[in-house]
Amino acid sequence: MKTAMIFAAGLGTRLRPLTDKTPKALVEIGGKTLLQIAIERLQDAGFQRIVINAHHFAEQIFEFVQNHYFDVEIIISHEKDLLLDTGSGIFFAKEKIGTKKPFLLHNVDIISNADLQKLYDFHNPETLATLLVSSRNTSRYLLFNEENILVGWTNVKTGEIKTPFKKLDLEKCKMLSFNGIHVISPKIFELMQNFEQPFSIIDFYLSVCRKEKILACQQPDLEVIDVGTVEKLENAKNWGCLKSPFSRKNTKFHAKNADY
């Protein structure tokens, strides 16, 4: 069974006032919530189980999933007491994700034409993680060597660099932007056991990339937009990826509302 996780627990502060009474995952675009768009994209890519983490207005996410019909198993990972960071959120959902097969992570505020099935199939189980990246302009980049293996991170505005390598030739590094979609080997749970909580997944990748292979994957025709701000949400309303409506007929809902 192919499993994916959707990060949907965030406070959505950059989307205020839309998120003053609604979780970011349930903000609508093109007549659909961001969560519905993500679920349907994953379903179309052949994922049969989807774990959704929830914290901010978690009860609304639970009700939405309960009242809509998707032909997939949906499990809520409820971060009740504390909003966990991305790395901690993955580790918290370990039992729901499963520890035998690679799984795909998808930020709820990312909309793209990414071929999620091909990305999943591209991932080599011996690789710790495969990250969907592109050359789009941003202020923060991941650094990869000539073999497309992660070696560091940089903020080009501040000049800050993070890397576990004592000597890093920036001129030989590829600067690529991360697009919030990645495939991860279950081996990651072992490595996370002694990591200080809470922690971000990017900080975790940077801490282990000297010993573990974390690979960049690029899709030549990739179109992606992070709708984490009101301005970007408005800009995305006429975006091509949203103009092909999904058909959902005769589907059924399966849910394990664990820990809710």
Q: Is residue 248 pLDDT above 70, yes or no?
A: no
pLDDT (tens digit per residue) in 148-187: 999 999 999 999 999 999 888 888 899 999 999 999 999 9
The amino acid present at 109, given as its one-letter code, is D
Q: Name the residue with higher pLDDT: 241 or 58.
A: 58
Q: Please tell me the predicted confidence (pLDDT) of residue 2.
A: 93
Give the C-alpha distances (Å, rounded to integers) separating 199 from 74, 216, 236, 251: 25, 21, 30, 37
User: Residue 84 corresponds to which tokens in the numbers above?
Assistant: 């966990």
pLDDT (tens digit per residue) in 41-59: 999 999 999 999 998 888 9
- Cβ contacts of 238 within 8 Å, gap of 6 or more: none
Q: Please tell me the predicted confidence (pLDDT) of residue 70.
A: 85
Q: Are 46 and 2 in contact (CB under 8 A)?
A: yes
The DSSP call for residue 96 is H
The DSSP call for residue 196 is P
Q: Find out whether the peptide bond into 198 is cis, omega within 30 degrees of 0.
A: yes
Q: Is residue 246 pLDDT above 50, yes or no?
A: no
Q: Report the alpha-carbon distance of residue 78 to residue 189 in Å, rounded.
A: 18
Q: Report the alpha-carbon distance of residue 34 to residue 146 in Å, rounded.
A: 35
Name beta bridge partners: 184: 103, 129
Q: Are 114 and 224 in contact (CB under 8 A)?
A: yes
Q: Report the alpha-carbon distance of residue 178 to residue 162 in Å, rounded.
A: 15
- Cβ contacts of 77 within 8 Å, gap of 6 or more: 5, 51, 52, 53, 54, 89, 92, 93, 96, 258, 259
Average pLDDT, integer, range 212-236: 85
Q: Is residue 244 pLDDT above 50, yes or no?
A: no
Q: Please tell me the predicted confidence (pLDDT) of residue 239.
A: 67
CB neighbours of residue 198 within 10 Å: 16
Domains, the chain, in order of start with CATH, read 3-256 (3.90.550.10)
User: Residue 33 corresponds to which tokens in the numbers above?
Assistant: 């919530």
Half-sphere exposure of 161 (CA within 13 A, CB side): 15
Q: Are 168 and 133 in contact (CB under 8 A)?
A: no
Share of the chain above pLDDT 90, in %: 57
